[in-house]
Amino acid sequence: MGRKRRRIIKRAPKPLPKIFTCPVCSAFAVTVTHEPGSDKALVQCGSCKKSLEVPWYPAYSEVDAYSKWYDLVVKGEASVEAGKG
Ligand SMILES: [Zn+2]
Protein backbone atom coordinates (compact mmCIF):
# COMPACT_ATOMS: atom_id res chain seq x y z
CA MET A 1 0.00 0.00 0.00
CA GLY A 2 1.72 3.04 -1.17
CA ARG A 3 0.92 6.31 0.18
CA LYS A 4 0.45 8.99 -2.36
CA ARG A 5 2.50 11.95 -1.77
CA ARG A 6 0.47 14.99 -1.63
CA ARG A 7 1.72 17.85 -3.59
CA ILE A 8 1.39 21.05 -1.79
CA ILE A 9 -0.08 23.55 -4.09
CA LYS A 10 0.54 27.02 -3.02
CA ARG A 11 -2.48 29.11 -3.54
CA ALA A 12 -1.43 32.65 -3.90
CA PRO A 13 -4.21 34.99 -2.96
CA LYS A 14 -5.28 36.83 -6.02
CA PRO A 15 -4.56 40.47 -5.74
CA LEU A 16 -7.78 42.35 -6.14
CA PRO A 17 -7.87 44.78 -8.99
CA LYS A 18 -7.54 48.35 -7.89
CA ILE A 19 -7.99 50.07 -11.19
CA PHE A 20 -11.10 49.76 -13.28
CA THR A 21 -12.53 50.79 -16.58
CA CYS A 22 -14.59 53.94 -16.83
CA PRO A 23 -18.02 53.63 -18.44
CA VAL A 24 -17.93 57.27 -19.42
CA CYS A 25 -14.63 57.64 -21.21
CA SER A 26 -13.55 53.99 -21.43
CA ALA A 27 -10.25 54.78 -19.82
CA PHE A 28 -8.68 52.25 -17.53
CA ALA A 29 -8.23 54.81 -14.85
CA VAL A 30 -10.92 54.43 -12.22
CA THR A 31 -9.67 54.20 -8.68
CA VAL A 32 -11.45 53.51 -5.43
CA THR A 33 -10.43 55.39 -2.34
CA HIS A 34 -11.68 54.08 0.94
CA GLU A 35 -10.46 55.27 4.27
CA PRO A 36 -10.43 52.63 6.97
CA GLY A 37 -13.43 53.01 9.21
CA SER A 38 -15.36 55.13 6.75
CA ASP A 39 -18.72 53.98 5.48
CA LYS A 40 -18.20 55.71 2.18
CA ALA A 41 -15.75 55.33 -0.61
CA LEU A 42 -14.79 57.75 -3.30
CA VAL A 43 -14.65 56.35 -6.78
CA GLN A 44 -13.04 58.55 -9.36
CA CYS A 45 -11.94 58.32 -12.93
CA GLY A 46 -8.49 59.73 -13.41
CA SER A 47 -9.24 60.50 -17.02
CA CYS A 48 -12.59 62.28 -17.17
CA LYS A 49 -12.67 63.07 -13.45
CA LYS A 50 -16.06 61.53 -13.01
CA SER A 51 -16.30 60.94 -9.32
CA LEU A 52 -18.95 59.83 -6.91
CA GLU A 53 -19.20 58.80 -3.33
CA VAL A 54 -20.68 55.40 -2.82
CA PRO A 55 -21.67 53.62 0.36
CA TRP A 56 -19.10 51.21 1.68
CA TYR A 57 -20.06 48.16 3.67
CA PRO A 58 -17.69 46.15 5.84
CA ALA A 59 -17.86 43.26 3.39
CA TYR A 60 -17.05 45.48 0.46
CA SER A 61 -13.90 45.48 -1.52
CA GLU A 62 -12.79 47.92 -4.17
CA VAL A 63 -14.52 46.03 -6.91
CA ASP A 64 -17.86 46.21 -5.10
CA ALA A 65 -17.59 49.95 -4.68
CA TYR A 66 -16.63 50.23 -8.31
CA SER A 67 -19.63 48.23 -9.52
CA LYS A 68 -21.89 50.41 -7.40
CA TRP A 69 -20.32 53.49 -8.93
CA TYR A 70 -20.56 52.00 -12.38
CA ASP A 71 -24.25 51.37 -11.84
CA LEU A 72 -24.88 54.92 -10.76
CA VAL A 73 -22.89 56.40 -13.60
CA VAL A 74 -24.51 54.25 -16.25
CA LYS A 75 -28.00 54.92 -14.95
CA GLY A 76 -27.23 58.58 -14.88
CA GLU A 77 -28.24 58.95 -11.28
CA ALA A 78 -25.17 61.02 -10.78
CA SER A 79 -26.71 64.03 -12.43
CA VAL A 80 -29.14 65.05 -9.78
CA GLU A 81 -28.64 68.76 -10.20
CA ALA A 82 -32.18 69.24 -11.47
CA GLY A 83 -34.56 67.71 -9.04
CA LYS A 84 -38.01 66.77 -10.16
CA GLY A 85 -40.94 68.52 -8.76
ZN1 LIG B 1 -13.67 58.42 -17.26
34: Cβ contacts below 8 Å, ≥ 6 apart: 40, 41, 42, 56, 60, 62, 65
Which class is 19-75 in CATH?
mainly beta
82: Cβ contacts below 8 Å, ≥ 6 apart: none
CA of 25 to the centre of ligand 1 (A): 4
CA of 30 to the centre of ligand 1 (A): 7
CA of 17 to the centre of ligand 1 (A): 17
Model pTM score = 0.70
Look at residue 5 in the predicted model and tell me its pLDDT.
80
Look at residue 78 in the predicted model and tell me its pLDDT.
46
Look at residue 2 in the predicted model and tell me its pLDDT.
66
Q: What is the pLDDT along the chain (85 residues), one digit of tens a residue?
A: 667 788 888 887 766 668 999 999 999 999 999 998 999 999 999 999 999 999 999 999 999 999 999 999 999 754 555 544 4
